[in-house]
Homo-oligomer: A and B are copies of this chain.
Amino acid sequence: MTVTGIIAEFNPFHYGHQYLLSQAKGLKIVAMSGNFVQRGEPALVDKWVRAQMALENGADLVVELPFLVSVQSADYFAQGAVDILMRLGIDTLAFGTEQLLDYQKLSRLYSEQAEHMTAYLATLPDHLSYPQKTQSMWEAFAGLSATGDRPNHLLALSYVKASAGKKLQLQPIKRLGAGFHSEAKDQCLSSATAIRKHIADRAFVEKSSPNAALILRAPQVTWEHYFPFLKYHILTAPDLTQFFQVNDELASRISAAIRSVATVDELVEAVATKHYTKARVRRVLTYILVKAVEAPLPEGIHVLGFSKKGQAHLKTIKASVPLISRIGAKPWDQLTQRADTVYQLGHTDMPEQTWGCVPIRPEAMN
């Protein structure tokens, strides 16, 4: 049987995600961000709610990406997620993209030329951001034209790199409806960004997600719920450079700005430069918020939920892969657990995220 992996955030789950899941084949395994997402912000609703939405729409198994995979630039995010999915036995990787290219061919190209392509990157001028350099690389080696605002395609190129040399079928699925970052409400399919932005508009959320009730019932958080903690920590930390990816320049820019800003957006605006993109600054602020330091990734894989089919698959692999299905006596990744603890502080109604939580089994509930 085909075993398809999907890398996702479902922040929150919408009809585009439902379509993506419907197009994937065989057993469907989702590697999903935990409570903090790739662009460096807290997820709108917690990981358990998001896992449940995935399971209710066709996913068979949802596992959690550790914090230091979730909250990373595209290449590390893709690499970490693909590694976990491979250990879970996938043979196919499905992903949404704005353009249907021959990603398989690009992956072969990268497996043959990785060294040259990486060397080429190093020749590019330092005033370019890493995403800009990557675009230029693909232009030079594969003739891909510059992509503009097509973040799913960019992420797909990171999957291409992460899967190079691996026995993995790439299945691009053309994205329907609104673009990734679109905030527009008048599309036939709304983006997650639009839903987050218009979360207060109940009718809009109901129109945009098959799981509107779940989303609307859950405690919803944004960066602003965590700003007081971030500010307190920045103002009292003896040395910000002890945290992951905070260099002297970022530390001094952050410390200088914190006293005069009132929101996280203002802080990001004040700290970002051409070289330090806003997404990178947001990730760095997330690292500071959860006091992240460099640490090895966990051995075990944390299971957030499964269907009956997913459960059967877990039985076939559990001898070879350490699976964590209940955190408690047996701890999982310390940093992810700390991130959960901080996430919970953002909302008085937020339930416990870690200790004693067990995988969601939608079919078992019926």
**A interface residue numbers (CB < 8 A to B):** 228-229, 231-233, 235-238, 290-291, 338, 341-342, 345
Contact = CB atoms under 8 A, between A and B. Distances in A.
Contact of A342 (B235, B338, B345): B235
Contacts of A338: 235-236
A345 B290 contact: no
A341 B235 contact: yes
A237 B342 CA distance: 11
A259 to B, nearest CB: 9
A224 to B, nearest CB: 14
10 contacts: A228-B228, A228-B345, A231-B345, A232-B232, A232-B233, A232-B342, A232-B345, A233-B233, A236-B290, A238-B291
A181 to B, nearest CB: 31
Contacts of A291: 236-238
Classify the interface of chain A: helix, strand, loop or mixed.
helix
A238 B232 CA distance: 17
A231 B228 CA distance: 12
Nearest to A338: B236
A246 to B, nearest CB: 16
Identical chains bound together, number: 2
Given A228-B228, A229-B228, A229-B229, A341 B290 contact: no
Contacts of A345: 228, 231-232, 235
Contacts of A233: 232-233
Nearest to A238: B291
Contacts of A290: 236
Given A228-B345, A232-B342, 11 more contacts: A228-B228, A228-B229, A229-B229, A229-B232, A231-B345, A235-B341, A235-B342, A235-B345, A236-B290, A236-B341, A236-B342
A4 B231 CA distance: 42
A228 B225 CA distance: 12
A120 B67 CA distance: 56
A273 to B, nearest CB: 26
A238 B243 CA distance: 13
Contacts of A228: 228-229, 345
A229 B231 CA distance: 10
A287 to B, nearest CB: 12
Contacts of A231: 345
Contacts of A236: 290-291, 338, 341-342
A249 B291 CA distance: 24
Nearest to A293: B238
Contacts of A237: 291
A180 to B, nearest CB: 32
Nearest to A348: B262
A217 B345 CA distance: 31
Interface centre among A232, A235, A238 (most CB of B within 10 A): A232
A290 B229 CA distance: 13
Task: Give the 6 A-B residue pairs with the shortest CB-CB distance, closest first.
Answer: A229-B232, A235-B341, A236-B291, A232-B345, A236-B338, A236-B342
Contacts of A229: 228-229, 232
Nearest to A262: B348
A229 B338 CA distance: 15
A332 to B, nearest CB: 17
A238 B290 CA distance: 11
Nearest to A230: B232
Contacts of A238: 291
